[in-house]
Structure formats: structure tokens, C-alpha cells
Amino acid sequence: MSQYPNNCKYTKEHEWIRADGAAYVVGITSFAAEQLGDVTYVDLPKPGKEVKQGDSTAAVESVKAASDIYAPAGGRVSAVNDALADAPEIVNQSPFDDGWFFKLENVNAADLDSLMDADAYEKYVGAQH
């Protein structure tokens, strides 16, 4: 059993993406949140922004580092998690649920095929240690 949700797909940069109705929700994995330490600031994209897979779409700052958040798939930003502006620590507390970053619409389905499933991501993370 993977410690990462099976309903998500994963990138080598430690983002996740999962279907949510017609849109896809994007965030960072618990592994990424642990590596960053306490998140202190999140810079989110503007709704309506068109992104391609791999584009730097958001940024996160922590007590340890600042990191870009890359789009796991191409699409259009349809929503952002405004709660992170006042409470960026939600990323650490709930990376797969309340700590999501943005939602994408019109996602390029072919991009999703290039991502890892939970088991593959867990093996990838294990190889990083």
C-alpha cells in the first residue's frame, strides 16, 4: 500500500494532479512538503493563465528554500487556493487535501500519461534517499 493517494498522478518534481469533476487539482506531495520544511509563503498563478506541461506555474517559500511549482499537465488555471495566502502552513498539514495550489481545466490528457502512478512515485522517492 502506497503512502501516496492512488487517485493522483505524480511528477519527478514532486507535484501531484488528480481529477476533480471537469477540472484537475494540483499540489505538492507530502515528500516535497517534508523536504521544504515549514511553508511560509505561496505565490499562486492568476486564474485564466494558460500553462504547458513543465511550466513554472506557482512558487512556494519555506524556512529552508524557495521552489517553483511546475504544471504537471498543460491546461488553463481555473481556480487557486486563496486560503494559502493567509495560512501557507496548510501545505504542510494537508498536502493532498486542503493544501492544494491550483486547478486546471482543458487539461491535455496525453500529458497525464507521462506521469507516475502512486507506486512508481513511491519507488522514485525511495531511490532519492
Q: What is the pLDDT of residue 1?
A: 46
37: left (phi over 0), alpha (psi -120 to 50) or beta: left
* Interval 12-30: pLDDT, tens: 999 999 999 999 999 999 9
- Domain regions of the chain by residue span: 9-111
What sign for the dihedral angle of Cα 89, 58, 56, 23?
A: positive
Q: What is the pLDDT of residue 98?
A: 98
Residue whose C-alpha cell is 529552508: 64
Q: For residues 45 and 58, what is the distance between their CA atoms, to the nearest angstrom?
A: 6
**The architecture CATH gives domain 9-111:** Beta Barrel (2.40)
Q: What is the pLDDT of residue 66?
A: 94
* Interval 49-64: pLDDT, tens: 999 999 999 999 999 9
Q: For residues 85 and 41, what is the distance between their CA atoms, to the nearest angstrom?
A: 7
CA-nearest of 78, 126, 120, 74 to 103 is 78
Is residue 128 scored above 80 in pLDDT?
A: no
